[in-house]
Amino acid sequence: MSEFNKGEVWLVGAGPGDAGLLTLHAVAALRAADVVVHDALVSVEVLAYAAGSELVFLGKRGGQPSPKQPEINARLIAEAKAGKRVVRLKGGDPFMFGRGAEEVLALVAAGVRFRVVPGITAGIGGLAYAGIPVTSRDVNSSVIFLTGHDHTGLSPEGIDWAAVGRAAGMIVLYMAMRHMGEIADKLIAGGLAADTPVAVVMSASTPDMQVLDTTLENAVADIEASGIGAPAIVSIGRGNLLREQMAWV
C-alpha cells in the first residue's frame, strides 16, 4: 500500500453503493484520512470506514441546490494546504462522468499532490447486480457509455445517435432519466428498433435496488408508471434479455 501523506488529496471511487465493492486502497485511505469530502451518492456503509475522519458533504443532485465545482475544488485545496490527508470520495469511479478530471486539474494548478483510487462504476458493477452483462460473446461484443446530460443539464449535443445505435451492442446511459424520452426518440429515428430491450436499474447494488424491464418505445411511459427514479443506470440492448437467466440478487 502507498503511504497517504499529509497535504495530499486522494480521489477515491466509492463504487455503486455496496460497501463490499470498495478496493483495499479505498478502505485504507478512508481509515487514514483526516477529512473526507464526499458526494451525494456515497452510502452510509461506505462512510462508516471513515469513522475517525471529519466528514464534509459537498454533493451535487440534479434539480436541487448544489455546491459549484469551483467551491469543491477550493475546499480540497484548502484542506490539503492546511496539512491534512484529504479523501475526495465519489460514487462509482472518479473518472466516469464524475468530474474527477476537473478536480485533478485544479489540484495540479494549485501544486497539491494527489492520487487516484479507481472504483467500480455503476455502469458495469451496478448492472451486474441486476444480472446484466455489458458484454457477452454470444450476444454483444461492444458497449458504449454515455452521459444523459451535458454540463448545462440539457441532453448532450454532438452525439451521432444513429451511429451509436449501429455501433454498440449495448448502450449504457448515466444520468439519463430526465431526457429519456428525447434520447429514445433520437435512437429510434436513427434506426434502432423500437422494441430494443431496455433495463432501468435504480440504486444499483444497494438493498433499495429496483429494476424495470421495458423497451425503447415504452421506456418513458413505463418509468412514469413504475415510479422508478434517480439515481439510475439505463442499459439498452439485447444483453438485457440475459436477466431472465442471470438475475441473482
Catalytic residues, by residue number, are 39, 60, 175
Rounded distance, CA 151 to CA 68, Å?
Answer: 12
To which H or E segment does residue 147 belong? Answer: strand 143-147
Task: Tell me the three cell numbers of residue 20.
Answer: 463490499
Rounded distance, CA 23 to CA 110, Å?
Answer: 28
Q: How many residues does the chain have?
A: 249
Buried b (16+ CB within 10 A) or exposed e, 124-153: bbbbbbbbbbbeeeeebeebbbbebbeeee
